[in-house]
Amino acid sequence: MTFLALAFVLAAAPAQAEPAAEDRARVELIERVSRSVVHVKAEQWEPLAVNPPRCGRDRVFDDMLDSLGGPRKPEEGTGFVIDSARGLVLTAAHIVDEAKTITVTLPGGTSARAELAGLDVDGGIALLRVSGSLPALPLAEREPRAGETAIIVGWMIPLKSVMPVEGMVMGDAPGAEASPLAPPFAKYIALDAVIPNGGFGGSPAVDSSGKVVGMVSAIYGRDYGPGSLTMIISAAGMAKDLAQLAAAGRISRSAIGMKVDCPKGNCFVDSIDAGRQPLRRGCVSATHS
């Protein structure tokens, strides 16, 4: 083929082949959702704390060790815009909990600082505030039923790209709430989708209409492999909490607010919930039965 003929063929070829008719709706859905998805990176601090902490005058030394800590490996994941006017991004609480600074990468590759607008560790959700105007994803008002299709669109950290994973809704998963690491007030839904390891926490799971039915929170079973399930927090179940979180920055629940640890029979207060930030650890008198 001559150079002139080759040039004619290339000029006549379409810039990008159109997807097959049966794939077109799914492709357009993923492209639309991707415009609202961001990468979240939270820098965290690792204190040089003594465990358990000591009482009395020695506690001053423990507090000094806390301040002399250093940065640890940052937490990374995905978030998605739920309110364009206020620049609110929803993500998983475990990604930004205890974060010193939060950076988001917007569609197109631009990075920007984000402000923590609300954190609910017990519910597994967090809200970030970013500048700029990105399209928001609508939240579903109903629970998805077993057998429905859900598409997860998340940020794949190693490949630095937004990627989709398709799965089927398997139904409610109240047993996942019994896990020691699971947020106790999150309502879980199981998907048979196997997500890749690397940044899908906080990703939206959308139905065929583009509404968010849940947010990726955890993996159940074999980590990131055959036989594992993806656990999403129900969007319909978190609707009221999101409204309160956006307004007040926290969720008000009735609780004593004190976590106690008792290694080898010596009990101490691990943390006291004083709003969004825990107070420093201290000692407490307790007896074992």
pTM: 0.75
Interval 53-106: pLDDT, tens = 555 555 566 566 555 666 677 899 999 999 999 999 999 999 998 888 999 999
Task: Lowest mean pLDDT of 144-158, 194-208, 241-255, name the range.
Answer: 241-255
Q: Is 80 exceeded by the pLDDT of residue 148?
A: yes
Half-sphere exposure of 254 (CA within 13 A, CB side): 0
Query: For the CA atoms of the chain, what is the radius of gyration?
Result: 23
- Amino acid at the residue 116: L
Band the pLDDT of 286: cuts 50, 70, 90. very low
Is residue 188 very low, low, confident or very high in pLDDT (cuts 50, 70, 90)?
A: very high
pLDDT band at 289 (very low <50, low <70, confident <90, very high): very low
Comma-separated ranges of CATH 2.40.10.10 domains in the chain: 33-129, 149-236
The span from the CA of 80 to the CA of 67, in Å, is 33
Is it the case that residue 196 has pLDDT exceeding 70? yes
CATH superfamily for domain 149-236: Trypsin-like serine proteases (2.40.10.10)
Under CATH, what is the fold of the domain 33-129?
Answer: Thrombin, subunit H (2.40.10)
* Residue 51, pLDDT above cutoff 60: no
Q: Specify the residue for token string 């008719």.
A: 21
93-95-100-102 Cα dihedral, nearest 10 degrees: -100
In this predicted structure, the answer to whether residue 251 has a pLDDT above a threshold of 90 is: no
Residue 138 confidence (pLDDT) above 50: yes
**148 exposure class (CB count in 10 Å sphere: 0-12, 13-18, 19+):** middle
Average pLDDT (179-194) is 83
- As a whole number of angstroms, the distance between CA 208 and CA 28 comes to 11
ω before 52 within 30° of 0 (cis)?
yes
pLDDT mean across residues, the chain: 81
